[in-house]
Amino acid sequence: MAIDILWIRDDASLALYCAEWQELPFIALDTEFMRVDTFYPLAGLVQVGDGERAFLVDPLLISNWQPFAALLANPKVLKVLHACSEDLEVLLRLTGSMPAPLFDTQLAAAYLNMGFSMGYSRLVSAVLGIDLPKGETRSDWLQRPLTDTQISYAAEDAVHLAEVYRRLAPKLSAEKTTRVLEDGAELVSNMHREVLPEEAYREAKLAWKLAPAELAVLRELCAWREREARARNKPRNHILRDHTLWPLAHTQPDNLTSLSRIEEMHPRTVRHDGETLLQIIHQAAALPQAQWPPRLPEPLPIEASALLKKLRAYGLAEAERLDMAQELMLRKKTLDALLKTGYPHGPYQLPDSLRGWRRELMGQALLTLLAKETA
């Protein structure tokens, strides 16, 4: 079947079509981007499907994204995407806005118990019986002109995504539709919750093993790396490799020779940023005790696995009862956070990561279960 493809290569055309899309009940959205050696994704193409046609927006030629940002924010137009966390980042960087309300077809498939974290090609095959061509996902989307194969691939994404939505949406109950949209809003909210550079150390490998004085050094190193990665638009590991953070905070080298001996320390880092790193370490090590961060919680011991298993079993039973993918219910990270609030003897508190309908449905039951197990 031939696809009707319309190119949008100037601000006036984008504004004109955005005005048309504002009148639709939904649009399908996809993006193609490059992220090989940059911190932020570089947009190569934005695809819009109106249910009939595929619109290809060239971000290299558009300077005024305001009409598109208004479309993304229009609560009357549903935005349909698939596995969209990176698409959200691309759209936010381009337009300063993100889609709301958001309907993620990957989430919808999971709520229909078709499978969890289904790839787009597999979902299109399962729903539409169409086998999509492979091989263009990692191609150069910043090159111009794009190849005929790239154009066809991008256009098919926009058209088939709209078709998948039309097939899946009627199968969802009103309650499940609400939950898909709630999870979509959570994805958008998470994108807005940008990690502060000063909090980045909490995610560093083995940070829990460090004493508070050493954590102060780790905090400053991670904060510097985060700010530099954003400012230079380079991946964090290009600034300072992950595996160097813990030994830097622990051994605290005070000269370039010692710095260069840190395992996995790149010579380029020593040359370009060595003196800066030594200064950061020296200043952080001199901080008064009142400015040290508290120790980070240790990982749960192996003995906690039995309790984790019982919590997970409860979530799985609820998923089966509601006929949805088991993984949708209780993520391991959430259960770990729950247990860490009171293990081994309690009392426990619901973690912030257990939000929305999951908190309402299962929150009190989880606390009750833990209370019985630790009584």
CA 373 from centroid of its chain's CA atoms: 34
Residue 127 near residue 95, CB atoms below 8 Å? no
Q: pTM for the full model?
A: 0.92
CA 74 from centroid of its chain's CA atoms: 23
57 membership: H or E segment, kind and range: strand 54-57
DSSP labels, 282-301: HHHHTS-GGGSPPPPPPPPP
CA 307 from centroid of its chain's CA atoms: 29
Q: What is the DSSP letter of 47?
A: E
Polymer length of the chain? 375
Average pLDDT of the chain is: 95
Note the pLDDT tens digit of each residue in 75-87. 999 999 999 999 9
Note the pLDDT tens digit of each residue in 336-359. 999 999 999 999 999 999 999 999
Q: One fold for both 197-291 and 302-374?
A: yes
Residue 325 has pLDDT above 90, yes or no: yes
Residue 364 has pLDDT above 60, yes or no: yes
Residue 249 near residue 210, CB atoms below 8 Å? yes
Q: What is the pLDDT of residue 130?
A: 93
Residue 118 near residue 109, CB atoms below 8 Å? yes
Helix (H, G, I), strand (E, B) or coil at 64: coil
Q: What is the pLDDT of residue 136?
A: 65
Rounded to an integer, what distance in angstroms lies between the CA atom of residue 150 and that of residue 181? Answer: 31
Reported as a pLDDT band with limits 50, 70 and 90, residue 2 is confident
Reported as a pLDDT band with limits 50, 70 and 90, residue 40 is very high
Q: Provide the residue ranges of all domains of the chain, joining segments of one domain with +.
A: 5-192, 197-291, 302-374
Q: What is the pLDDT of residue 179?
A: 97
State both tokens at 169: 């949406």
Residue 44 near residue 58, CB atoms below 8 Å? no
Q: Cis (ω within 30 of 0) for the bond into 299?
A: no
Taking residues 220-244, report their average pLDDT: 97
Q: What is the pLDDT of residue 135?
A: 63
13 membership: H or E segment, kind and range: helix 11-21
Q: What is the pLDDT of residue 178?
A: 97
Both ends of the chain: CA-CA distance in Å? 65
Taking residues 19-47, report their average pLDDT: 96
Reported as a pLDDT band with limits 50, 70 and 90, residue 88 is very high
Q: What is the pLDDT of residue 1?
A: 57
Q: Which fold has domain 5-192?
A: Nucleotidyltransferase; domain 5 (3.30.420)
The CATH number, out of the four listed (1.10.3470.10, 1.10.150.80, 2.40.50.140, 3.40.630.30), of the domain defined by the range 302-374: 1.10.150.80
Q: Cis (ω within 30 of 0) for the bond into 267?
A: no
Instruction: List the one residue out of 101, 14, 99, 86 whose CA is nearest residue 43.
Output: 86
Pseudo-torsion of CA 150, 153, 155, 159, nearest 10°?
-170
Q: Which fold has domain 197-291?
A: DNA polymerase; domain 1 (1.10.150)
Q: What is the pLDDT of residue 123?
A: 97
DSSP labels, 188-225: HHHHHSPPPGGGGGGGSTTGGGS-HHHHHHHHHHHHHH
Rounded to an integer, what distance in angstroms lies between the CA atom of residue 236 and that of residue 38? Answer: 9
Reported as a pLDDT band with limits 50, 70 and 90, residue 374 is confident
Residue 9 near residue 56, CB atoms below 8 Å? no
- Percentage of the chain lying above the pLDDT 90 cut: 92
Compute the half-sphere exposure of residue 16: CA atoms within 13 Å on the CB side of its CA: 10
What amino acid is encoded at 357 in this protein? W
Note the pLDDT tens digit of each residue in 279-303. 999 999 999 999 999 999 899 999 9
Note the pLDDT tens digit of each residue in 90-137. 999 999 999 999 999 999 999 999 999 999 999 999 999 999 877 666
Work out the angle between the directed axes of helices 267-285 and 212-232 (0-180°, nearest 10).
130
Residues ≥6 apart with Cβ < 8 Å to 96: 65, 69
Residues ≥6 apart with Cβ < 8 Å to 79: 26, 27, 29, 72, 99, 100, 101, 102, 103
Reported as a pLDDT band with limits 50, 70 and 90, residue 232 is very high
Active site residues: 30, 32, 87, 153, 157
